[in-house]
Chains A and B, each alone.
Chain A
Amino acid sequence: MTTVEIFVGIFDGFRITATVTALGLLFAVPFALIFGVAQYLTKGAAHLAVTAVIEFWRSSAVIILLFVFYYVLPVIGIQLPAITVAAMVLGLNAGGYGSQAVRAGLQSLDRGQFEAAAALGLPRGHILALIELPQALTRMAPTFINQFIQLIKGTALVSLVTLTDMTFRAKEIAELEYNPVGVYTSLLLAYFVVCYPVTVFGRWVEQRSGGRKGLTNEF
């Protein structure tokens, strides 16, 4: 097999890598927003409960979560397809990190933003949605792009629960070809080809939203 053939063979797994990433985002984005905002707004017992959920997903090893949910759920009678389990585990782990970016973004805003909005008679929900979140999310955009890339790379783990993603394909080819150096170098390259455009996209988003309004500069 030539290097090109190996590379094309690895990209057979791209569909699974992309699907797990996309489904993962469906878990990650809502989790990050809801739990990040909840951690910002709640106090006392509710705050502890929210923090506990976030910490469970954020502080557990993804590979162990993956095995636990893949092998333990069927034992207690819950049958989920491997791709759902993988997307959920990877997504909620990324969402745990994302929630901290959301919370930090909200906390980093000047208190005066809330006060000015409140002084105009805006209800709390409007202040959050129209004043605080737009600024916090713009500020946190680089962090979100980082976490998105982490999620893509994290999908390499799904090869351990029978999903034929790029990494799984590489292992298959490596066994047939006895050329681990060529195969795994191609795999590295494959992930770079997928992730780098996201980095470029992130830079574009950052410049577009931040530059003109001077959001990065405090006045």
Chain B
Amino acid sequence: MSDGQSMRQAASWPAEIGQQHGARGPDQTAAVEAAALNKWFGSFHALKDINLAVPQGGRIVICGPSGSGKSTLIRCVNGLEPFQSGTVRIGGVDLTRDQKQLQKIRRSVGMVFQQFNLFPHLTVMANCTLALRRVLGKSRTEAADIAAHYLERVRIPEQAHKYPAQLSGGQQQRVAIARALCMNPKIMLFDEPTSSLDPEMVKEVLDVMIDLAADGMTMLCVTHEMGFAREAADQVVFMDQGSIVETASPATFFAAPSQERTRLFLDKMLR
């Protein structure tokens, strides 16, 4: 009886520790772990045998030409995209198609989209408090306090009462980041967060992301911003045609990539 109980506790231990990282010092459970991941769109093999581990506090930038599968990969991590074989683990918990479990995992995985995807019928404040109230069951005032805190953090507290359409693209994307942060996620996923922004607004969004990285947030980021990769990433993953071609530290990646395909890509990106 007591044996069985301690067994069960032991079995759930990696998931527990994934929930409260920082409490016990460095933690060996990967924040995100994809193993032998394969995905097809019809007959198109979009992800080929992907293996990727993001440690707690890791800041990983995924880059590569368009159609290389980087967005698909990041969308598999929170189950927005189903995959045909392999496993994805979030804090040691296997991602399944079970909706309840998926919802639970998604609470701890924030996502920022290329098109912002703010809810246009809700104010900035309501965008931020919606999930706090409906998913986490916070009271109106409690949720508003949390939202105000994160809107402050993305340097946009004065816009709380406005609707998304009244904001610039850069402001909208910062609200989207605040909305995700409100859920106090363990991991943040960024899917080309600056790709649909006017050039002069890219920096304000990247600055927020660099702040987040400096605070130790675990980040998995698909981006073409090589400057961000240099400054904030601790690992750069290069993908091409559905495979991971090369994984390296930013210093090595930019100065001495080991693969020919990476060199060709960097030549084009950095001119």
Q: State the A residues within 8 Å of B (CB).
A: 110, 112-113, 115-124, 126, 130-131, 134-135, 138, 212-215, 217, 219
Contacts and interface: CB of A to CB of B under 8 A. Distances in A.
15 contacts: A116-B111, A116-B113, A116-B117, A116-B119, A118-B106, A120-B107, A121-B106, A121-B183, A122-B131, A122-B134, A123-B103, A135-B121, A138-B121, A214-B166, A219-B169
Given A213-B165, A214-B166, A215-B120, A121 B130 contact: no
A212 B134 contact: no
Contacts of A124: 99
A214 B118 contact: no
Contacts of A215: 120-121, 165
Interface string B66-80: 000000000000101
Contacts of A130: 130, 134
Contact of A121 (B107, B120, B121): B107
Contact of B117 (A115, A123, A214): A115
B164 interface: yes
A171 to B, nearest CB: 47
Nearest to B189: A119
Contacts of B134: 122, 126, 130
Contacts of B121: 134-135, 138, 213, 215
B109 interface: yes
A120 B113 CA distance: 12
A186 B109 CA distance: 65
B165 A119 contact: no
Q: Of residues B80, B104, B120, which shows the largest number of chain A Cβ atoms within 10 Å of its Cβ?
A: B120
B80 A122 contact: no
B99 A120 contact: no
A214 B106 contact: no
A120 B165 contact: no
A215 B80 CA distance: 25
Given A134-B121, A219-B164, 8 more contacts: A112-B113, A112-B115, A115-B80, A116-B118, A119-B109, A120-B107, A214-B166, A215-B120
Given A214-B163, A219-B164, A120 B130 contact: yes
Interface in B105-153: 106-107, 109-111, 113, 115, 117-121, 130-131, 134-135
Contacts of A214: 120, 163, 165-166
Contacts of A113: 117, 119
A115 B99 CA distance: 14
